[in-house]
């Protein structure tokens, strides 16, 4: 979970600052996973110094990308740099480069349309191992 928070922090900081809504979102993800807000803030402060631990299966990879995309949408502004970061992270997580852009945009549109995580995950299954 700590590497997940660190990755979310890297996305949040990519536009040069940590927006209060982004910080609140990251803290809420940490809290849902049993972390105290102070622990999350400490991880974010050290995000640049930690080597991330990447997920090893498609379901966990999807969850990581889903949270990154949801994070990107948290401040209501979709910055191209943030979109590119999500796409790059998807590739680094092991999704094929030919599908990462489509996958990230599919998640983004699903979140904006209010679809559940499970529905979007089911729709995205065709991208796994393809």
pLDDT tens per residue, range 49-92: 666 667 788 888 899 899 888 888 877 777 788 888 888 888 88
Q: Supply the DSSP string of 20-55, one letter for each residue.
A: HHHHHHHHHHHHHTT--HHHHHHHHHTGGGS-PPPP
SS3 state at 12: helix
Most confident of 13-22, 26-35, 82-91, 105-114: 105-114
Write down the H helix ranges in the chain.
Answer: 2-13, 20-32, 37-45, 58-73, 80-92, 100-112, 117-124
Q: What's the mean per-residue pLDDT of the chain?
A: 84
For helices 117-124 and 58-73, give the axis angle rounded to 10 degrees.
120
Closest among 59, 63, 83, 64 to 73, alpha carbons compared: 83
pTM of the model: 0.74
- So what's the pLDDT on residue 48? 63
- So what's the pLDDT on residue 117? 96
Q: Which two tokens stand for residue 110?
A: 């699903």
> What is the CATH number that goes with domain 2-127?
1.10.3680
- So what's the pLDDT on residue 35? 92
The ranges assigned to domains in the chain are: 2-127
What average pLDDT does range 20-36 have in this prediction? 85
């Amino acid at each position: 979970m700590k590497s997940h928070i660190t990755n979310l922090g890297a996305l949040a900081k990519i536009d040069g600052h940590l927006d209060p809504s982004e910080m609140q979102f990251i803290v809420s993800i940490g809290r849902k996973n049993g972390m105290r807000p102070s622990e999350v803030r400490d991880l974010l402060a050290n995000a640049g110094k930690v080597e991330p631990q990447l997920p090893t299966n498609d379901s966990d990879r999807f969850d990581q990308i889903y949270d990154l995309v949801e994070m990107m949408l948290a401040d209501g502004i979709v910055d191209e740099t943030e979109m590119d970061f999500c796409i790059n992270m998807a590739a680094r997580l092991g999704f094929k480069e030919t599908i990462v852009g489509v996958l990230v945009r599919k998640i983004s549109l699903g979140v904006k349309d209010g679809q559940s995580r499970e529905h979007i995950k089911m729709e995205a299954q065709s991208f796994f191992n393809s």
